[in-house]
Amino acid sequence: MPPSWRDLYASDQKLLRQSWPPAELPERLGVTPNRWEEISAACRVRVVALPLET
């Protein structure tokens, strides 16, 4: 995931905490709604590290 996506997602979370309407966020962040869906979905995925087999 590109660092810029993580930055956009962090900005999104900050705007949500400031009570911005979710529908306005893609425009406010400078991306299309479709691109925002892609970024948001990618950033919501939790990565879990598994221990290496020895």
Q: At what angle do helices 33-44 and 3-17 cross, to 10 degrees?
A: 100
Task: Judge if pTM exceeds 0.75.
Answer: no
- Choose between 35 and 50: higher pLDDT: 35
**Residue 46: predicted pLDDT:** 78
**Residue 35: predicted pLDDT:** 94
- The answer to whether the CB of 15 falls within 8 A of the CB of 25 is yes
**Residue 37: predicted pLDDT:** 93
Element (H, E) at 37: helix 33-44
CA 12 – CA 36 distance, rounded (Å): 10
pLDDT 10s digits, 2-41: 889 999 999 999 999 999 999 999 999 999 999 999 999 9
